[in-house]
Structure 1
């Protein structure tokens, strides 16, 4: 506390007993982009000792005394002190209070669990049994377990790296911590496209899934004797998009906590219904569990890589973890990582209770007969459309539609944030409500246009998934090495380097496998002709 004594060395007169204490302005303790900065007072220099000291009448009048928490007192700390170095690294960003991700900071562990569940369970999980047709029972379960533990570890790293106690900086977006780790140019090259795809590309996929499932739901509810003229596929896409755009008018990430809760409940609901109905109906006749063996060794290797990619891509949402955590208040005594990790642990316990049964139960029920395109969802209608309860089939479809609507909001939020950030940076003021509505409508209907214009985008999912895989499995390990700086050759150092390099190698192999599959099998290019 030498810097405090240096500041107080100037003589001063005692303060009157009735003078109220002067405190720092609230903005210093509740910055929209930072956690609270370290206080100057410590147990070794308690505040109470100052009031009991004998006054010295030769000191400076009290009106020139600056309080310990004021910006001026902070500015007078010695240049070489740790506190001054921390404050030098801290950059206040007033625009955070104008942007939808960081506009509200009253989140809690429950909100974190809702958002994480809604973003963590998706349609990708429904194709897990397809990976088992290549890997078989043993390697399928082992690979799924290893991938779950691996991504949970990188998730823990992101939660811990969200805020720095040394600098006071909160990394509220995945791109921010990527820029701090890799540098701005390298981060734009490595991270920007995967992040944009995981946000915008997922919203396009949700429109395709939500629109096509809406058509199926209409057919189930209407029945075989229905005389109403059904809508076309494009019209169903448009209906779903209009509902998604209307729901997207909620202002910020905290305001959609209820939407995420509904999305989480429906995701758990349709996963449970799918594997429950499949297991209850029993195994299909002549089902086989022998792994599919391709004719050539090259094709067999790429099939295995494709199966690994399916399992890896089933775990999503890492690109949103920092954004979710940024909605929480944080201080030195109550850091946001504690409630965030509590919410994440609960949500991933529920996610594990969904993914493992749907992978194991789905493969047990259908074996090699499960459809490669879509997995459990088309298998349910194909094999049990006539025998299963129509109410349960309709309820499953309804849950898929509601979950797609809810997931659209949380995956679209980084795109909304980026669009508004460009406006606030240029105009130096927050977006008005009508401009925010226009931005979100433009994004929603832009995704609709892509879904209609490029309906074969799902055929490239393996290729693009390989590009996006390091966001979940590799980059957090390198971030940990850069930020935490573990001792060289320590177990933590070896673990993170190993996982990071294996993740990057797996990404390159999946990209190669995706290119090979596209060239070998081809894709059905049908612009503006959705199925």
Structure 2
């Protein structure tokens, strides 16, 4: 490592990132090639498709029938469709803004775009905390869901075996990530991500087709679950948070686009957008049948996770749970990669650590162990979906891209673009306020009877 204070390497990473690529020193170039987000720019458009499917279609899809039960038919369908349109629009804006500055500058990370819109310091403080809450929060929820799905698989294939505590299944799920988290960059996890995207389509199809196979339940009810008005309202809020959680994938979209090649004649937004549209068609194919069929067949009796409601055919449900596990393995890695990038950027650029394999080995394993520990301590799946969904996903998915667009593009007041963005902002802010309220209430209710580490 260069020691002299005048080296460009000693400049603050955040103050230096607006320079054009050519002005980087050899040392900076070497570091950028080592960091997971900027190391490789060889991705094809279909990488964008399956990375986005893996990022968006998470465990949230399995909670959609339960969310429908709390929302009711009319509001439920409306929220699902409106969310699909709003999040596709905001995702399109982010893809467009990746190379909004002429001259070869690319915003490879969400916070870099935020800094360009809001200023160096403010941009960092607006984007990074929210992005970290989302990515770390999702990884914790995926640890819990991965453990639950492994446990359900174990119970399906061996109903007479001794029941093993959820804690141990979460540990088994985490042990896979101790290995996979050593894959250096986004492109190196593309195989894992592709498998995860295929699995999400598979288990979504199993969820709704097995629901049809089971048929409409006798005495099925579609009224609101709670007997009190307050309970109904808070459940409604929590369900909104769950829907937001299901649509959140924007936190990693700049980082996914960073892996694509780009020239002034052929910017990366073309292939990226093609992948995004394919991904969103798959999202609709996964979400709507699961939500509507699951709710239609079971009504109010549907569980937080639709696969837990379904018991037969046993082999199919066992297989679906295993598909969920494989998908969550890929999703965990997609959300962990930007966190690894942030940690390694700070360690190497700010704290002057050498970019070595053992630095990566230690930091990434510490992160996996941290998410595992939190997941084992607080395994409240439904409440966490609502809480994290409203608290952090709504800003970064529904309205932060719109605010950045208004700051950078400055559309004329009351023009179509201006109005569309303000509608999205108001809708997103409302979700940010009400989602966490419902989720927090659910966590408190579940925590009453909860005993730690059982």
Whether TM-score is above 0.5 comes out as yes
Distance (Å, rounded) in 1 between the aligned partners of 2:403 and 2:352: 34
Counterpart selection for 1:433 from 357, 372, 389: 357
**Partner residue of 1:505 out of 430, 433, 450:** 430
1:349-498 matched pairs, under 5 angstroms? 349-371=281-303, 374-380=304-310, 385=311, 388-426=312-350, 431-456=355-380, 459-468=383-392, 469-498=394-423
- CA distance in 2: counterparts of 1:304 and 1:223, whole angstroms: 35
Give distance in 2, aligned partners of 1:271 and 1:206: 16
Matches within 5 A, 1:208-357: 208-224=144-160, 231-292=164-225, 294-296=227-229, 298-357=230-289
Structure 2 unpaired stretches of 5+ = 1-16
Determine the C-alpha separation between the residues in 2 that align with 1:459 and 1:513. 8
- Cα distance, 1:413 vs. partner? 0.4
Residues in 2 aligned to 1:242 and 1:197: alpha-carbon distance in whole angstroms: 23
CA pair 527-328 structure 1, distance change in 2 beyond 3 A: farther
Q: Given the alignment of the two structures, is residue 111 of structure 1 paired with residue 44 of structure 2, yes or no?
A: no
In 1, are the aligned partners of 2:55 and 2:331 still within 8 Å (CA)? yes
Provide the C-alpha distance between the structure 2 equivalents of 1:330 and 1:128, rounded to a whole number of angstroms: 37
Distance 1:140 1:233, change over 3 A: closer
1:165, distance to aligned residue in structure 2 (A): 4.2
Of stretches 215-224 and 334-343 in structure 1, the one that deviates more from structure 2 is 215-224
Given that residues 141 and 384 in structure 2 are in contact (C-alpha distance below 8 angstroms), is that contact kept between their aligned partners in structure 1?
no
Q: Note the 1:92-241 alignment, pairs <5 A.
A: 94=29, 95-166=31-102, 168-224=104-160, 231-241=164-174
Q: 1:508 to 1:190 in 2, by over 3 A?
A: farther
Alignment check: 8 A CA contact 2:383 2:440 kept? no
Preserved CA contact (<8 Å) 1:306 1:510: yes
Partners in 1 of 2:87 and 2:168 — Cα distance?
38
SS at match of 1:252: coil
Secondary structure of the corresponding residue to residue 363 of structure 2: helix
Q: Aligned residue for 1:57?
A: none
Structure 2: distance between partners of 1:316 and 1:422: 26
**Which whole-Å CA distance do the structure 2 matches of 1:292 and 1:394 have between them?**
28
Question: Equivalent residue of 2:447, what SS?
Answer: coil
Cα gap change, 1:263 to 1:443, in 2 (>3 Å): same
Using structure 2 for the length normalisation, give the TM-score. 0.88
Distance (Å, rounded) in 2 between the aligned partners of 1:222 and 1:134: 33
Question: Which string of whole-angstrom CA distances, capped at 9 and with x for unpartnered residues, describes residues 204-223 of structure 1?
Answer: 12121112222222232334
Alpha-carbon distance in structure 1 between the residues aligned to 2:381 and 2:153:
23
Larger Rg: 1
Structure 1 contact 486–492 (Cα < 8 Å) conserved: yes
Distance 1:506 1:234 in 2: 32
Moved more, 250-259 or 231-240: 231-240
**Aligned equivalents of 2:421 and 2:434: distance in 1?**
20
Q: What TM-score results when the alignment is normalised by the length of structure 1? A: 0.76
Larger mean Cα displacement after TM superposition, 449-458 or 272-281: 449-458
Q: 1:362 to 1:221 in 2, by over 3 A?
A: same
Partner of 2:4: none
Residues 181 and 457 (structure 1), Cα distance of their counterparts in 2 relative to 1, 3 Å cut: farther
Change beyond 3 A, Cα 1:527–1:281: closer
**Alpha-carbon distance between aligned partners in 2 of 1:497 and 1:390, rounded to the nearest angstrom:** 48
Rounded Cα–Cα distance in structure 1 between residues aligned with 2:245 and 2:325: 21
Task: Please state how far the C-alpha of 1:526 moved relative to its aligned partner.
Answer: 4.7
Contact 1:35 1:163 in 2 (8 A): no
Q: Which structure is higher in helix share?
A: 2
- In the TM superposition, residue 456 of structure 1 has moved relative to its aligned partner by 4.0
Q: Once superposed, what is the RMSD of the aligned Cα atoms?
A: 2.6
When structure 1 is superposed on structure 2, of 331-340 and 191-200 the one drifting more is: 191-200
Q: Secondary structure at the match of 1:474?
A: helix
- Relative to structure 1, the CA distance from residue 274 to residue 522 in structure 2 (aligned partners, 3 Å threshold; closer, same or farther) is closer
Distance 1:203 1:316 in 2: 13
Return the alpha-carbon distance in structure 1 between the equivalents of residues 357 and 449 of structure 2: 40
Q: Segments of 4+ in structure 1 off by > 6 A?
A: 33-37
SS of equivalent residue, structure 1 residue 104: coil
Cα distance in 2 for partners of 1:335, 1:348 equals 21
Deviation at 1:184, TM superposition (A): 4.3
1:35 to 1:137, Cα distance in 2 relative to 1, 3 A? farther
